[in-house]
Amino acid sequence: MRILIIGNGAREHIITERLSEDSSVLSIMSKKNPAIAKISEDYYICDITNTSEVKAWASGKNIDLAFVSPDPVLAVGMSDALEELGIPVASPSKDVADIECNKEFARSLMQDHLIPGLAEYRLITNEKEALSAIKEFNNSVAIKPIGLTGGKGVKISGDHFTNVNEGMSYVKELLLKDKKLLIEEKLKGEEFTLQAFSDGNSLVFMPPVQDHKRAFENDEGENTGGMGSYSTGKILPFMNESDLEKAKIIMKKTIDALKKERSPFKGVLYGQFMLTKDGPKIIEYNARFGDPEAMNVLSLLQTSLTDIFLGISEGKLPNAVFSSNSTVVKYLVPNGYPSKPIKDSPVSINLPCLSSKGTNMYYASVYEKDNQIFTTSSRAFALISSSKLLKDAEIKVENSMNCISGPLWHRKDIGTENLIDKRIKHMDKLRGEKK
Ligand SMILES: Nc1ncnc2c1ncn2[C@@H]1O[C@H](COP(=O)(O)OP(=O)(O)O)[C@@H](O)[C@H]1O
Ligand SMILES: [Mg+2]
C-alpha cells in the first residue's frame, strides 16, 4: 500500500511510524518534520490547507489511500478534494468534519436527535441574549466561539475572567468578529478523551485518555496544545465502567445522526468529555486524533493501522486490538512556553539514552539546520513510556526527560500518583455532593 498522510506534528509522526510498518508512506507537511521526512518514501512541503497545491502534488503518485490529520486541513475539505482525484480516504469529509469545525452544528445535531450528554447552552446573537444567559447560568459559564480557534478561543468564568463585565467584553469581541457565539453552563468534573475509529456505521473504541491542557503543575496557567497525557489502557482511575459505556453510547448516536443528516463519518471521532456527577457530558467533538492522545493509544495498538485505515475507507472497519498497558506522554516545550517561548534554540537528543530507558520520542515542532535540531515557539518533543502499572510508566518517562538537553521544560506531575489521587478525590467529592 502507498499511503499519503497530511500533517507534521508528533501526532502525525506516530501515525507515520505505525503505517510504515507495512506500507510505504508519502507525506505532505507545512514545515518539515525531520522524523516524518526520514520515514517517508517521498514528501512535499507546502501550505497544507491549499487543496489545489496538495492535489497537484498527489496526483500521479499512485496513492492507494490518504489520511488527512489536522483540523484546519479537514475544515477546508481536503478529504473531498483527494476523493475527487479517485484516492480513497480514511478521514472525514467537510460536511461531517463540521462536528468539530462548527460547535453550533454539533450541539443542534445532538439536540435534534435527543442524544444524551449535551450541556445546557444558548446560541447568542446579541448582547442582550448574552447577559440573560450569563444570569441564567449564575455567572458560571463557558464562552465559546463557533469555529476553530486552535484551542485558544474558549473562556471560562473563574479561570479566564472574573466578572460579568469582563465576560461581556469577550462576548462583544466575538459578536463583532463572528456575529454569533455560544454560552454554555460551566461543567464541574474531570475531563477525559475517548477516541474511536469510524467507518460511518460502526465505531471501534480506543482506550480512554486524560490530557493536561493547562501549562503548569496542578493545572494552573494558560491553556496549551496539551502538556501530556496518560492512559491505563483500560478505564481511567476516576471513572466507573458505566461512565465509559455512557460516553460510548453518546458517540455512537452522534455517528448515526451524522449519517442521517449529512453523510457517513469516516475517520477518527474524538469525544472530549467532562465527567460530571451526573455522568459524562460533551465538551466538544474533534474529527481527528488528539495530540498528545494519539500517542497513548497508537503505542498500544496491536492491529495494523494500515488495515484499520483501509477498513475505514471501505466502510468495513475491522476490530482493533490494544494491549492493556499504561502509558504516560510528557511534552518537552521551549523555555518561556506558552506565553513567551524562546525559539531557535539548539537542542541535542541522546538516542541511546532514550532507548536504554525504554522511552519513545516523537518530534513535534522543531526544525533541522546543518545537522542540528532547533526549537520553534510550539511544543518540541513528546516522550512516551509504557508499563503495566501507571506509576512505573510515569517514573520511566520522567527518568528519560534528561536524554534531551536544551532550553526546554515539562510538567513533572502528569501521571504521578499524587495527581491521580487528586483526580479520584475530586470525582468522589462531586459524586458525594449528589447524595
Ligand atoms: N462547559 C464547559 N465547562 C467547563 N469547562 C469547559 C467547558 N467548555 C470548555 N471547557 C474548557 O475549555 C477547554 C477548551 O474548550 P473546547 O470546547 O474543547 O474548545 P477548543 O478545544 O476548541 O478550544 C476544554 O478543554 C475545557 O477545559
Ligand atoms: Mg477542545
Helices 103-112 and 94-101 meet at what angle, rounded to 10?
A: 100
pLDDT tens digit string along 361-375?
Answer: 999 999 999 999 999
What per-residue confidence (pLDDT) applies to 132?
Answer: 97
- 294 falls within a domain: yes
Rounded-to-integer distance, Cα 245 and Cα 277, Å: 15
CA distances from 229 to 287, 327, 414 (A): 19, 8, 7
137 with 269, same domain: the answer is no
| Nearest Cα residue to 284 out of 79, 145, 76 | 145
- Other residues' Cβ atoms within 10 Å of the Cβ of residue 138: 10
- 228 falls within a domain: yes
- 254 falls within a domain: yes
- 429 falls within a domain: no
138, 161, 185 - which closes a domain: 185
Ligand whose nearest atom lies closest to the CA of 143: 1
End-to-end, the C-alpha distance of the chain in Å comes to 56
- 105 falls within a domain: no
Extract the C-alpha cell encoding 40: 517517508
Q: Give φ, ψ of 68 to 5 degrees.
A: -95, 120
267 with 290, same domain: the answer is yes
Ligand 1 atom nearest 185 alpha carbon = 1
| Nearest Cα residue to 184 out of 116, 269, 130, 120 | 120
Residues 6 or more apart whose Cβ sits within 8 Å of residue 81: 51, 54, 55
Rounded-to-integer distance, Cα 206 and Cα 59, Å: 33
- 127 falls within a domain: yes
The pick from 104, 185, 223, 283 for probing ligand 1's pocket by mutation, whose C-beta has the most ligand atoms within 8 angstroms, reads 283
Task: Count structural domains, the chain.
Answer: 3
Ligand whose nearest atom lies closest to the CA of 160: 1
Whichever domain contains 329, its CATH number is 3.30.470.20
pTM over the 0.85 mark: yes
For the chain, the 3-state helix, strand and coil shares in percent, each to the nearest 5, are: 35, 30, 35
Distance between Cα 270 and ligand 2 center (Å)? 10
What per-residue confidence (pLDDT) applies to 435?
Answer: 53
What per-residue confidence (pLDDT) applies to 150?
Answer: 85
211 with 329, same domain: the answer is yes
Q: Give φ, ψ of 287 to 5 degrees.
A: -105, 35
Ligand whose nearest atom lies closest to the CA of 152: 1
Ligand 2 is a single-atom ion; what residues have CB below 5 A from it?
A: 284
203 with 241, same domain: the answer is yes
Whichever domain contains 13, its CATH number is 3.40.50.20
Distance between Cα 367 and ligand 2 center (Å)? 27
- 214 falls within a domain: yes
312 with 220, same domain: the answer is yes
220 with 195, same domain: the answer is yes
91, 111, 144 - which closes a domain: 91
Ligand whose nearest atom lies closest to the CA of 103: 1
What per-residue confidence (pLDDT) applies to 358?
Answer: 96
195 with 181, same domain: the answer is no
pLDDT tens digit string along 286-335?
Answer: 999 999 999 999 999 999 999 999 999 999 999 999 999 999 999 999 99
Distance between Cα 144 and ligand 1 center (Å)? 8
With a Cβ cut-off of 6 Å, ligand 1 is lined by 119, 142, 144, 149, 151, 153-154, 156, 184, 186-187, 191, 213, 272, 283-284
296 with 382, same domain: the answer is yes
Instruction: Share the mean pLDDT of the chain.
Output: 97
Rounded-to-integer distance, Cα 62 and Cα 426, Å: 53
List, for the chain, all residue ranges whose pLDDT scores fall below the cut of 70: 434-435
DSSP 8-state code for residue 50: -
Q: Which strands, in side-by-side order, build the sheet including 42-45?
A: 42-45, 24-29, 2-6, 65-68
The torsion region of residue 289 among left (phi > 0), alpha (psi -120 to 50) and beta comes to: beta
224 with 317, same domain: the answer is yes
CA distances from 86 to 41, 58, 89, 149 (A): 21, 11, 9, 31
What per-residue confidence (pLDDT) applies to 173?
Answer: 97
267 with 411, same domain: the answer is yes
| Nearest Cα residue to 75 out of 57, 58, 56, 50 | 50
The three-state (H, E, C) secondary structure of 400-430, written as one string: HHHHEECCEECCCCCCCHHHHHHHHHHHHHH
91, 110, 133 - which closes a domain: 91
The pick from 154, 229, 426 for probing ligand 1's pocket by mutation, whose C-beta has the most ligand atoms within 8 angstroms, reads 154
Q: At residue 122, what is the residue type? A: R
174 with 293, same domain: the answer is no
Whichever domain contains 148, its CATH number is 3.30.1490.20
Rounded-to-integer distance, Cα 416 and Cα 418, Å: 5
* Rg for the chain, CA atoms, rounded: 21
What per-residue confidence (pLDDT) applies to 434?
Answer: 60
The pick from 220, 284, 285 for probing ligand 1's pocket by mutation, whose C-beta has the most ligand atoms within 8 angstroms, reads 284
Q: Which domain holds residue 243?
A: 190-418
213 with 164, same domain: the answer is no
Q: Are 232 and 390 in contact (CB under 8 A)?
A: yes
- 372 falls within a domain: yes
